[in-house]
Amino acid sequence: IAGITQAPTSQILAAGRRMTLRCTQDMRHNAMYWYRQDLGLGLRLIHYSNTAGTTGKGEVPDGYSVSRANTDDFPLTLASAVPSQTSVYFCASSDSPGGMGTEAFFGQGTRLTVV
Amino acid sequence: GQNIDQPTEMTATEGAIVQINCTYQTSGFNGLFWYQQHAGEAPTFLSYNVLDGLEEKGRFSSFLSRSKGYSYLLLKELQMKDSASYLCAVQDSNYQLIWGAGTKLIIKP
């Protein structure tokens, strides 16, 4: 089934550990995004990539890093997890990063708990 | 700063009509989106408005007034499966999406 796949679907992580959330899309979309969603808050952009080989910082990038080695994959790494990074993480992609009216497609999310 | 406001929660009756409002203040405007998100699932696209007026798509319609910084999503003939959160998002001058916190819609029989 075409779309975006995230892994793992959920994870409990000890504080201070390193963790990579995986995201793969097969729609050949240029742009990819990582958001976090917390109760009572809107989706907040962590990092984005407009095309393979480029990345940019979003609203809440601290403590996170990304890479975009190819079109399909956009992993998100937490270098040293802290409890405030407990959240649901969504990966998304869209066909054209700068295009108006570009619909974003979302993965099913990763529920991360840092203890 | 950039801000998207929408009600936290609304309740409506099956078969009725409900209007979910969204007001925004952003750095530039390149369009407004509505997404639906069922509990525990990913957001899915519902509608997009960039010009003033009403866009109709089946039971769902979305309205935009750029001068007022205002949009609404209108859901007609409500069904139980419409119980979900509805997210308003504005694309700013950098084409980044700014998201509201979402409106949880509860449908009662």
Arithmetic mean of pLDDT, A39-55: 93
What mean pLDDT comes out for the span B45-66?
96
**How far is B31 from B7, CA to CA, in rounded Å?**
20
Instruction: Over range B45-62, report the average pLDDT.
Output: 95
- Res A56 pLDDT > 80: yes
Give the best residue of B64, B96, B104 to mutate against chain A (max A CB count within 10 A).
B96
- Residue A8 sits at φ, ψ, to 5 deg, of -75, 175
Backbone angles phi, psi at A16, to 5 degrees: 95, -15
Rounded distance, CA B96 to CA A61, Å? 14
- The span from the first CA to the last CA of chain A, in angstroms, equals 34
Cis peptide before A8 (omega within 30 of 0): yes
A14 lies within 8 A of chain B by CB: no
Contact B29, B92 (CB under 8 A): yes
CB-based contact B87 A43, cutoff 8 Å: yes
User: Is residue A23 over pLDDT 60?
Assistant: yes
For B:69-98, CB contacts with A below 8 A are: 87, 89, 91, 95-98
Alpha-carbon distance of A15 to A2, in angstroms, equals 34
**Which pLDDT does position A10 carry in this prediction?**
97
Query: For A98, which residue in chain B has the nearest alpha carbon?
Result: B95
Predicted pLDDT at B27: 87
pLDDT at position B92, please?
87
Share of residues in chain B with pLDDT > 70 (%): 100
Using CB atoms, which residue from B30, B95, B100 is nearest to A42?
B100
B17 to chain A, minimum CA–CA distance in Å? 25
Subunit contact B4:A103, Cβ cutoff 8 A: no
Is B23 an interface residue toward A (CB < 8 Å)?
A: no
Low-confidence winner among A74-78, B24-28, B67-71, B76-80 (lowest mean pLDDT): B24-28
Residues in B touching A101 (Cβ below 8 Å): 31, 48, 50
Partner residues linked to A36 by β-bridges: A44, A89
Of B30, B45, B98, the CB nearest to A100: B30
Furthest CA-CA distance within chain A: 41
Residue A37 exposed, middle or buried by CB count within 10 Å (0-12, 13-18, 19+): buried
Mean local confidence (pLDDT), B10-23: 98
A19/B contact by beta carbon, under 8 A = no
Nearest to B43 by CA among A76, A89, A105, A31: A105
Q: What is the DSSP letter of B14?
A: T
Confidence band of A108 (pLDDT split at 50, 70, 90): very high
Decide if B44 and A41 are in contact by the 8 Å CB cutoff. Answer: no
User: Helical H runs in chain B?
Assistant: none
Q: What is the mean pLDDT of residues A56-75?
A: 96
B104/chain A closest Cα distance in angstroms = 11
Q: How confident is the model at residue A97 (pLDDT cuts 50, 70, 90)?
A: low
Residue B72 is classified by DSSP as E
Q: Which residue has the higher pLDDT, A100 or A18?
A: A18
DSSP symbol at B18? E
Residue B101 pLDDT > 90? yes
Alpha carbon distance A4, B41 (integer Å): 13
> Does residue B72 or residue A99 have the better pLDDT?
B72
Average pLDDT over residues A73-99: 91
Report B:3-22 residues touching A (Cβ under 8 A): 4, 8
